Structure 1
């Protein structure tokens, strides 16, 4: 092999060996994705905006210094397969679990991000909340949610939750755990993942 070819092989190998790039951190201390949507955090308006774009609304509660949030951003939301699916099908809005930005709940009450987290009963970060296609009249966002994912999971559990919601698995009667197991078995049969992956 020539010296130039050897150098090219070495550079390519070094490129693939690099760790994932760090995700930008905003002034609020939260990790950021450039494709997240910034809104006025009016739940009914956000659900309608997502619907008008042919998407579903998902909100993510995070906090400064959360290592699981960092992992979600660096390992999951930066994975092209995961990122592209979510971007195409969901409007993601980020909430700071201890933030003071104003939030309007579906019942019309005015809250802050932190009082919304308390009112809705969310205590883990990250927590991703999936809202219905059409905003119900009254009630809270937590009552309207079709699914909630508390915590960070492996790639396939994470992605499959988004797919299950997008495919309205909550209406079909197929519990998420059964859906996820079915998809995992299909992926294993295709040779796309090993025994330990989920």
Structure 2
């Protein structure tokens, strides 16, 4: 049966790895390297820092075709996945979930009320947090970058690299950083267009 799925995937142009992404009971796609936490954001920032990583929160929802694309194409790409795993702790949030969340300002919410409070309305939305947990500000105010939606490989990966390199502290806006990296990739022959 698996061979039939792999053959079908090859016919329609999907990687066999895309078929290995599983759905959880909540209907969200799961990566075995995502972190399971108590969703205390300050604690998660400190845990990530202790591991030499940064915290990124990903908001998703059941039935989201863009979330599926992110998991099946972007997170299935070894170059993307390995960079993220090496540099970030990823915690998944359900846009309409009821799990308890503790905001950086100390407020206890559910995932869905947190998403509303922080103004996240698209899925997936990736929220990149600072290296140190700020006191008494909500996540949306503390975030160093936010990526609403699923993009192509290089936009997606370059956002992670820009945050990892603390590009948000410098003068080079993400879009200029991304354009510079794309030009380098073209010069190296690794990219035709994006």
TM over 0.5: yes
Q: 1:124 aligns with which of 92, 117, 122?
A: 122
* Alpha-carbon displacement from aligned partner over 1:132-175 (angstroms, at most 9, x marks no partner): 00000111011000000000000000000000000000001110
* In structure 1, distance between residues paired with 2:176 and 2:118: 27
Shift of 1:188: 0.1
What residue ranges of structure 2 are gaps of 5+ in the alignment? 1-6
Query: 1:11 matched to which residue of 2?
Result: none
CA distances 1:3-52 after superposition (whole Å, capped 9, x unpaired): xxxxxxxxxxx799463232100000000000000000001000000000
The aligned residue for residue 64 of structure 2 is 66
What is residue 97 of structure 2 aligned with on the other side?
A: 99
1:176 aligns with 2:187: no
Give the equivalent residue in structure 2 for 1:108. 106
Tell whether 2:161 aligns with 1:145.
no
Q: Which whole-Å CA distance do the structure 2 matches of 1:92 and 1:124 have between them?
A: 18
SS in 2 for 1:148: strand
Secondary structure of the residue aligned to 2:91 is strand
Based on CA coordinates, which of the two structures has the bigger radius of gyration? 1
- Which residue is equivalent to 1:46? 44
Calculate the TM-score normalised by the size of structure 2: 0.92
- Cα RMSD of the aligned pairs, angstroms, is 1.3
Distance 2:164 2:171 in 1: 14
Give 5+ residue unaligned stretches, structure 1: 1-13
- SS of the aligned residue for 2:98 comes to coil
